[in-house]
């Protein structure tokens, strides 16, 4: 019976999959998907609030995004993501209408139109060597033009802000000159450039701002040497640290250079360690950072310094803001208990505050990192100040009049890893259907829908229908649903914060700034790396909450010590954390769980030892039984070696840790480093389900897929070819792909693509591999598919053998045996560059697969696997056509309706995650980058449930109509019969 059901299901799937993949109607946008736009951690902020009209703030971020935000609500007006290497160095506003950005190491200057974000001009600034970057916009009163002064690449440029033309250019690249500051005193047309020559000479240049003429150049030597930054002590005095870091050096630079030293310990008695001057743009006050505190110093009298304040808690301060005639203010923000305190002061008067506010802050946001202030006129003509604050978790918030006006969770722009967690099961007593209050409401809703389908609805009705569909609280409930659409997405951001997002509407359910991922004395540079499902209770352990494991490292090197933390997926509380005594090179989640359904994990450290977690005796016992069956591989990218490993023995020599094991190397594959370089690897997803090994092909024949969990795809290129397109010729570049069994180290298949190069993106699923690369001869991207079939089972088709028991179906499948495999392969052209690639996954693996291709345009294209089938031929036979084989074309089609992101873009796309739902036909797709996007797709349409727009009302009406018709005909026939009888 089950077989019949399955067969019929299979047939339906086949039948339905003949249609092109399902597309979206434009009124269905937002029903199944959500899209969130972020910008990343703010680096530079420029306010634009002078004129009436829309108040806005322009932000450039660590993700190389330039965005204009609405100052009232924090929404994005426009946004541009620059290229990955095009880091924004400086930003400013010119002419009151252009945003000027300096990027790519001070070589590219662009102007963007402030209202709509259109690029106005772009200029390339020639530079010869890397240097510090400075940008300032100067306004000459008599001209309409603003002149932009740019220092970058060792050259000083003056650029017209109307069209980006370089007015003059001065090279400041004498030997070992390091320009430290380029600045221009207010109301003067002299530009100063100061810097160090070598370690002990101080040099200044003075230029005429209009002509670029070198007015003056002077050099002076200071025997103590310099280190670090230069800052301003006052308008005409600079301050720097000497080479030992123990003295402050005041430098008088304007006419004659002279130096004055002050011993730091005299000023700050209990300071220790090496200080540094914080880069400030304040005048009159400068800041010194010591180990534990920030010290503000002020110049009093001639060359005499005085400590004005010492702040021991975390603090941030802004640049000086000139808000009225000659008055400059700056903002200082610090933590006071659970609140943050914002103080705005005049930069020459420390004792009085222009503004003092404090506001309660979410402890999960961490410490303040940056502050930018802006002033406005209050209604009573006094000055008010607002502050944009960047927090430790990369969020951005606006503080005004003692309240947080808005907050942006921009930490979500830098997602490192994603996993999912199920929601809690619906409990007794919780009302299920709060949506449809009664039958009348329900019917009314459906009648509205029916009106919509019959095109009878008025515009008001249509709006009501749309609102009803979008608002449906059904999708955002906090419990598990029957179809498994509602889940929690748990993401780890670059700032070390965990977020749980609801798949229904994308809201943040909880967030946690992981204590173990914050900088502390023992762990200087913590970096989060991966998250795993630690405990997934089902069956008997249902009462417990699921938990996840966050793996992080204390530093960037491979031998940095590891930190594990365990977080409850429902509440977002850290259950415990472990600081490990070993490093983490690899984490292997084992397919074993203990009695509380905690998954066993094997952590491999840099010295090749394996450590078992959780460290319980029960886990150890379970592990012991599987001890000889655990294999893994490691890739040494520097030496081009792939090694296979197995466990050896308990490493009880120096320590009595029974959860630590020595490993042994089983096999290794050494690639010739002069001709091959590993650029990409891929494996099958651990949780992938395959429904059947058999594949029925045309004319009732059966082939068997080779399904192995231990398949590794490796792509290597010629060492010359490991660079962007355009720098190699087809003759000197090749691409070799390997399929390797990771248990035995056997190379199952090797194929060479001559004249091709990377980048290679590959996906393995079931018995096939699809990879994307660049074909230099055709100068087009190509995608290839390799399908692997198991020949050892091919004889099982003979019915007689089956009857006589001469089949090998009962022989166990072993990873050690040598498989008899047959490869089939085919290549196709593909139009776009690819950023990432993934494949759909469903609960039972019955539904046909779609490839999800993240294109260079930040869209996600769903491409049916049937287009990548090595059995495609130019003229398929009738039987093959019936099976659904598409005639061969040289390139893969791009059907605009099959973009799962429809008309949206996932800016800065980095990864695509697919999550199976309980409904076999459907899978959730989560694409992340700077933006987040989630949708639900059905690769073979939703064959197992009614679609969203199924009209129940029409069904009801039909049934009613049928019943009415039965009655009418019954009455009629009665009458007719009566008449007959009378006759």
Partner 1 sequence: MERCKRLTCISILLHLCFSLLPSTIAISSGSAEGYTISGRVNVESMGAKGFSLPAKVSNAKIILNGGQKVTFLRPDGYFSFHNVPAGTHLIEVDAIGYLFSPVRVDVSARNPGKVQAALTENRRSLIELVLEPLREEQYYEIREPFSVMSLIKSPMGLMVGFMLIVVFLMPKLMENMDPEEIKRAQEEMRSQGVPSIANLLPGTGRS
Among 11, 15, 18, 126, binds partner 1 (CB under 8 A): 126
> 72: which 2 tokens?
């009232």
The least CB distance from residue 929 to partner 1, in Å, is 13
Q: Which residues contact 29 (CB under 8 A, 6 or more apart)?
A: 902
**What residues from 415 to 474 belong to the interface with partner 1 (CB under 8 A)?**
453-455
Q: Which of 3, 52, 84, 556: binder of partner 1 (CB under 8 A)?
A: 84
Binding part of the chain for partner 1, among 24-32, 39-47, 600-608, 695-703 by CB under 8 A, reads: 24-32
CA 470 to chain centre: 27
Beta-strand ranges (E) seen in 313-429 are 315-317, 321-324, 327-336, 339-346, 349-360, 368-377, 383-391, 396-400, 403-408, 415-422
> Is the Cβ of residue 81 or residue 492 nearer to partner 1 in the bound state?
81
Q: Which is nearer to partner 1, 468 or 894 (CB)?
A: 894
In angstroms, what CA-CA distances link 976 with 41, 961, 964, 973? 83, 22, 18, 5
Closer CB to partner 1, 317 or 774, in the complex: 774
Q: Does 978 bind partner 1 (CB under 8 A)?
A: no
Omega before 655 within 30 of 0, i.e. cis: no
Of 7, 11, 18, 124, the residue at the interface with partner 1 (CB under 8 A) is 124
Which of residues 70, 86, 189, 597 is near partner 1 by CB under 8 A? 86
**Can you tell me which of 14, 23, 314, 447 binds partner 1, judged by CB under 8 A?**
23
| Cα distances (Å, whole numbers) of residue 338 to 13, 362, 366, 925 | 57, 8, 10, 38
Contact status, residue 370 vs residue 42, Cβ threshold 8 Å? yes
CA–CA gap between residue 923 and residue 838 (Å, rounded):
12
CB 17 within 8 A of CB 940: yes
Minimum CB distance to partner 1, residue 903 (Å):
5
Instruction: Find the binding residues for partner 1 in span 766-795 (CB under 8 A).
Output: 774, 776, 778-781
Question: Which one, 813 or 968, has the nearer CB to partner 1?
Answer: 968
Contact region with partner 1 (CB under 8 A), list: 109-117, 416-424, 508-516, 564-572? 109-117
| Of 583, 905, 921, 935, the one binding partner 1 by CB under 8 A | 905
- Compare residues 164 and 546 and give the one whose CB is closer to partner 1: 164
Least Å from the CB of residue 734 to partner 1? 17
Our CB check for partner 1 shows the closer of 661 and 781 to be 781
Return the number of the residue (84 or 439) whose C-beta is nearest partner 1: 84
Q: How far is CA 265 from CA 240, 245, 279, 290, 418, in A?
A: 15, 11, 21, 11, 49
Minimum CB distance to partner 1, residue 725 (Å):
4
Closest approach, Cβ 68 to partner 1, in A, equals 13
Contact 268, 295 (CB under 8 A): yes
What lies within 8 Å, CB to CB, of 689 at 6+ separation is 841, 842, 843, 844, 845, 916
How far is 222 from 224, CA to CA, in rounded Å? 6
- With contact defined as beta carbons under 8 Å apart, do 226 and 218 qualify? no
Q: Which of residues 705-734 bind partner 1 (CB under 8 A)?
A: 724-728
CA distance 395 to 20: 42
User: Please, what sign has the CA dihedral across residues 788, 790, 794, 796?
Assistant: negative
Q: Tokens for 6, please give them.
A: 């399955």
* Integer CA distances (angstroms), 795 to 259, 639, 701, 823, in order: 92, 43, 11, 17
Q: Which is nearer to partner 1, 54 or 691 (CB)?
A: 54
Q: How far apart are CA 703 and CA 576, in angstroms?
A: 50
Instruction: List all residues 6 or more positions away from 439 whose beta carbon is below 8 Å from its beta carbon.
Output: none
What the block records as the tokens of 832 is 């776009």
Instruction: Tell me phi and psi for residue 707, to 5 degrees.
Output: -115, 115
Q: Does 151 bind partner 1 (CB under 8 A)?
A: no
Among 63, 90, 787, 858, binds partner 1 (CB under 8 A): 858
In the region spanning residues 916 to 975, those forming contacts with partner 1, defined by CB under 8 A, are 954-955, 958, 961-962, 965, 969
Shortest gap between Cβ of 146 and partner 1 (angstroms)?
Answer: 16
Among 132, 247, 720, 832, binds partner 1 (CB under 8 A): 832
Compose the 373-392 pattern: x for residues touching partner 1 by CB under 8 A, - for all others.
--------------------
CA distance 59 to 37: 14
For the bound state, the minimum distance from the C-beta of residue 115 to partner 1, rounded and expressed in Å, comes to 12
- Is 678 an interacting residue with respect to partner 1 (CB under 8 A)? no
Element (H, E) at 44: strand 42-48
Residue 670 or 895 having the CB closest to partner 1: 895
Residues in contact with partner 1, total (CB under 8 A)? Answer: 72
Q: Does 30 bind partner 1 (CB under 8 A)?
A: no
Taking only Cα atoms into account, the Rg of the chain, rounded to an integer number of angstroms, comes to 34
Based on CB atoms, which residue is closest to partner 1, 75 or 618? Answer: 75
Q: Which stretch binds partner 1 (CB under 8 A): 110-118, 177-185, 709-717, 924-932?
A: 110-118
- Asked if 146 is part of the footprint of partner 1 (rule: CB under 8 A), the reply reads no
| Residue number, 430 or 965, with CB nearest to partner 1 | 965
Instruction: Say which residue the tokens 């404090």 belong to.
Output: 358
Q: Of the two residues 455 and 804, which places its CB atom closer to partner 1 in the complex?
A: 455
How many CA within 13 A on the CB side of residue 175? 0
Query: 555-574: which residues touch partner 1 (CB under 8 A)?
Result: none
Stretch that binds partner 1, among 438-446, 558-566, 825-833, 880-888 (CB under 8 A): 825-833
Restricted to residues 153-212, the positions that interact with partner 1 (CB under 8 A) are 163-166, 169
Nearest CB to partner 1, comparing residues 344 and 912: 912
* C-beta of 747 vs 856, nearer to partner 1: 856
SS3 for 606? coil
Which position among 486, 902, 936, 941 is part of the footprint of partner 1 (CB under 8 A)? 902
Closest to partner 1 by CB, 163 or 559: 163
Q: Which C-beta is closer to partner 1: that of 79 or that of 475?
A: 79
Comparison of 311 and 894: residue with beta carbon closer to partner 1: 894
Among 17, 37, 101, 123, binds partner 1 (CB under 8 A): 123
Q: How far is the CB of 714 from partner 1 (least distance, A)?
A: 21
Among 120, 604, 764, 927, binds partner 1 (CB under 8 A): 120
State which residue, 64 or 840, has the beta carbon closest to partner 1: 64
Smallest separation (angstroms) from partner 1 to the CB of 949: 10
Please identify which residue in 44, 80, 611, 941 interacts with partner 1, judged by CB under 8 A.
80
User: Given the DSSP bridges, would you call strands 547-554 and 561-568 parallel, antiparallel or unpaired?
Assistant: antiparallel
Handedness of CA 889, 894, 896, 898 (dihedral sign): positive
Residues 731-760 touching partner 1, rule: CB under 8 A, are 759
Contacts of 287 (CB under 8 A, 6+ apart): 231, 277, 278, 280, 294, 295, 296, 297, 317
Cβ atoms of 599 and 532 within 8 Å: the answer is: yes
The secondary element (H helix, E strand) that includes residue 619 is: helix 617-626
d(CA 647, CA 481): 42
Which strands form 711-717's sheet, in the order they lie side by side? 677-683, 711-717, 734-741, 747-754
Which span (79-87, 278-286, 351-359, 571-579) binds partner 1, by CB under 8 A? 79-87
Whole-number minimum distance, CB 456 to partner 1, in Å?
8
Contact between 893 and partner 1 per CB under 8 A? no
User: What stretch of H or E contains 464?
Assistant: helix 459-471
């Amino acid at each position: 019976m089950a077989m019949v059901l399955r067969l019929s299901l299979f047939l339906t799937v086949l039948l339905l999959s003949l249609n092109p993949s399902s597309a979206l109607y434009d009124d269905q946008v937002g029903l199944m998907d959500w899209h969130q736009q972020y910008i990343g951690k703010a680096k530079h902020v420029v306010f634009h609030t002078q004129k009436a009209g829309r108040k806005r703030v322009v932000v450039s971020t660590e993700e190389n995004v330039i965005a204009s935000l609405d100052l009232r609500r924090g929404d994005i007006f426009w946004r541009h993501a620059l290229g990955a290497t095009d880091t924004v160095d400086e930003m400013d506003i010119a002419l009151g209408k252009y945003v000027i950005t300096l990027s790519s190491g001070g070589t590219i200057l662009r102007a963007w139109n402030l209202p709509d974000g259109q690029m106005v001009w772009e200029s390339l600034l020639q530079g010869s060597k890397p240097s510090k970057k400075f940008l300032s916009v100067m306004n000459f009163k008599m001209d309409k033009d603003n002149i932009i002064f740019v220092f970058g690449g060792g050259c000083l440029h003056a650029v017209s802000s109307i069209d980006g033309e370089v007015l003059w250019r001065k090279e400041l690249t004498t030997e070992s000159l390091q320009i430290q500051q380029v600045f221009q005193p207010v109301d003067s047309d002299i530009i100063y450039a100061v810097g160090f020559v070598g370690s002990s000479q101080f040099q200044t240049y003075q230029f005429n701002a209009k002509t670029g003429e070198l007015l003056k150049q002077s050099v002076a030597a200071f025997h103590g040497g310099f280190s670090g930054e230069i800052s301003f002590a006052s308008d005409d005095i600079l301050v720097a640290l000497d080479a030992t870091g123990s003295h402050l050096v005041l430098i008088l630079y304007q006419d004659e250079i002279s130096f004055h030293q002050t011993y730091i310990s005299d000023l700050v008695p209990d300071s220790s360690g090496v200080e540094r001057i914080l880069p400030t743009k304040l005048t009159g006050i400068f800041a010194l950072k010591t180990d534990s505190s920030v010290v503000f110093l002020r110049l009093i009298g001639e060359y005499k310094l005085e400590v004005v304040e010492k702040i021991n808690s975390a603090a941030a301060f802004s640049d000086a803001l000139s808000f009225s005639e000659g008055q400059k203010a700056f903002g200082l923000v610090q933590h006071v208990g659970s609140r943050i305190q914002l103080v705005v002061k005049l930069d020459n008067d420390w004792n009085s505050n222009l503004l003092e506010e404090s506001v309660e802050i979410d402890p999960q946001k961490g410490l303040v990192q940056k502050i930018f202030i802006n002033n406005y006129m209050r209604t009573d003509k006094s000055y008010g100040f607002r502050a944009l604050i960047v927090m430790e978790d990369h969020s951005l918030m606006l503080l005004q009049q003692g309240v947080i006006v808005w907050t942006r969770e921009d930490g979500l722009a830098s997602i490192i890893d994603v996993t999912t967690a199920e929601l809690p099961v619906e409990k007794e007593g919780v009302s299920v259907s709060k949506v449809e209050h009664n039958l009348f409401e329900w019917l009314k809703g459906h009648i509205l829908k029916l009106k919509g389908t019959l095109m009878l609805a008025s515009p008001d009705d249509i709006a009501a229908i749309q609102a009803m569909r979008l608002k449906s609280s059904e999708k955002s409930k906090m419990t598990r649903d029957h179809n498994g659409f509602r889940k929690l997405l748990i993401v780890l951001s670059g700032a070390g914060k965990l977020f749980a997002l609801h798949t229904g509407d994308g809201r943040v359910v909880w967030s946690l700034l992981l204590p173990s991922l914050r900088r502390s004395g023992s762990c200087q540079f913590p970096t989060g790396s991966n998250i795993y499902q630690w405990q997934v209770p089902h069956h008997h352990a249902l009462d417990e909450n699921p938990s996840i494991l966050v793996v992080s490292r204390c530093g960037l090197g491979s031998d940095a010590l590891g930190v594990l933390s365990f977080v409850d997926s429902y509440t977002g509380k850290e259950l415990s954390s472990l600081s490990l005594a070993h490093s983490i090179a690899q984490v292997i989640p084992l397919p074993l769980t203990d009695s509380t359904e905690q998954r066993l994990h094997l952590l491999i450290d840099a010295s090749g030892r394996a450590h078992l977690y959780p460290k319980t005796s029960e886990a150890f016992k379970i592990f012991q039984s599987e001890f000889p069956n655990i294999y893994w591989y490691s890739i040494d990218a520097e030496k081009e070696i792939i090694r296979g490993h197995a466990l050896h023995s308990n490493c009880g020599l120096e320590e009595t840790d029974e959860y630590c094991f020595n490993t042994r190397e089983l096999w290794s594959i050494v690639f010739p480093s002069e001709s091959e370089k590993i650029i990409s690897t891929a494996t099958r997803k651990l949780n992938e389900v395959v429904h059947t090994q058999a594949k029925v092909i045309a004319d009732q024949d059966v082939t068997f897929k080779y399904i192995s969990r231990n398949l590794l795809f490796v792509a290597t290129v010629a060492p010359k070819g490991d660079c962007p397109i355009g720098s190699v010729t087809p003759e000197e570049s090749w691409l070799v792909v390997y399929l390797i069994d990771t248990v035995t180290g056997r190379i199952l298949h090797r194929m060479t693509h001559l004249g091709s190069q990377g980048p290679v993106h590959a996906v393995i699923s079931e018995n096939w591999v699809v990879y994307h690369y660049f074909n230099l001869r055709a100068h087009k991207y190509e995608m290839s598919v390799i399908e692997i079939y198991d020949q050892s089972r091919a004889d099982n088709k003979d019915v007689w053998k089956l009857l006589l028991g001469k089949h090998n179906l009962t022989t166990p499948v072993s990873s050690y045996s040598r498989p008899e495999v047959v490869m089939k392969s085919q290549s196709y052209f593909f139009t776009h560059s690819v950023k990432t690639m993934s494949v759909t996954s469903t609960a039972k693996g019955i539904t046909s697969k779609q490839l999800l291709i993240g294109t260079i345009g930040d869209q996600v294209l769903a491409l049916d696997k049937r287009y990548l089938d090595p059995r495609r031929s130019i003229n398929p036979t009738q039987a093959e056509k019936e099976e659904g084989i598409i005639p061969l074309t040289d390139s893969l089609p791009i059907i605009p309706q099959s973009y799962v992101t429809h008309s949206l873009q996932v800016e800065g796309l980095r990864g695509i995650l697919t999550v199976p739902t309980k409904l076999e036909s459907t899978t959730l797709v989560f694409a992340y980058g700077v933006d987040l996007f989630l949708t639900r797709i059905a690769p073979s349409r939703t064959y197992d449930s009614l679609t969203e727009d199924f009209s129940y009302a029409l069904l009801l009406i039909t049934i009613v109509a049928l019943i009415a018709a039965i009655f009418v005909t019954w009455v009629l026939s009665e009458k007719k019969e009566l008449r007959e009888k009378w006759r």
